[in-house]
């Protein structure tokens, strides 16, 4: 049985290494985008429209309002949607037809987005660190049970916020 485990592990190791390298690359690009967001008003407008019109489902995982309750329960540091006055695209259309303007001084949609981005930045940084630890372990795999337990422990520390392949 031990020999079969070693053979299957030999097949798994290159696949795991490639998957971890892709995960790190993906996380790095998301971190760069989050760093870019506070400086780019075009990205802010696009995200604001996505949140107000489509509940944040199209651009960034951390502003998806439908999944927000899950994140708020899973991590107490997650900025809570209910603490912000988030505008709604359809209310803006109605206001425009009634008043001729879409101005609403109380909207905190952008503040919500930037606060959630700061929160997501920390999570993504932790995920990069974990992925690097797992990659180092895979590259130095020695087929021991201790090595396997360390990998499983790192896997269990991974964030529940990521749904790869979306």
| pLDDT one-digit tens code per residue, 17-73 | 999 999 999 999 999 999 999 999 999 989 998 998 888 888 888 888 888 788 888
* Residue owning tokens 């604001």: 48
Whether the Cβ atoms of residue 67 and residue 78 lie closer than 8 Å to each other = no
Q: Is the pLDDT of residue 166 over 50?
A: no
Q: Is the pLDDT of residue 163 over 50?
A: no
pLDDT of residue 160: 59
The fraction of the chain above a pLDDT of 90, given in percent, is: 40
Q: Is the pLDDT of residue 121 over 50?
A: yes
pLDDT of residue 5: 52
Query: Rounded to an integer, what distance in angstroms lies between the CA atom of residue 154 and that of residue 163?
Result: 17
pLDDT of residue 115: 96
Q: Span 107-120, mean pLDDT?
A: 92
Sign of CA dihedral 74, 120, 164, 52: positive
Q: What is the pTM of this model?
A: 0.79
Q: Is 127 left (phi over 0), alpha (psi -120 to 50) or beta?
A: alpha
Which stretch of 25-29, 126-130, 149-153 has the lowest confidence by average pLDDT? Answer: 149-153
């Amino acid at each position: 049985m031990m020999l079969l485990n070693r053979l299957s592990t030999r097949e798994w190791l290159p696949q795991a290494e490639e998957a971890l390298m892709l995960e790190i690359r993906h996380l790095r690009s998301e971190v760069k985008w989050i760093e870019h967001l506070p400086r780019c008003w075009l990205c802010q407008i696009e995200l604001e429209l996505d949140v107000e019109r489509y509940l944040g489902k199209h651009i960034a995982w951390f502003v998806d309002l439908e999944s927000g309750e899950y994140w708020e329960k899973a991590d107490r540091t997650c900025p809570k949607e209910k603490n912000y006055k988030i505008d709604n695209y359809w209310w803006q259309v109605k206001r425009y037809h009634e008043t001729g303007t879409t101005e609403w001084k109380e909207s905190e949609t952008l503040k919500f987005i930037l606060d959630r981005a700061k929160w997501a930045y920390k999570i993504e940084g932790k995920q990069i660190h974990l992925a690097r630890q797992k990659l180092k372990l895979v590259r130095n795999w020695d087929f021991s049970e201790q090595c396997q337990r360390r990998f499983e422990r790192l896997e269990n520390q991974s964030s529940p916020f990521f749904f790869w392949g979306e």
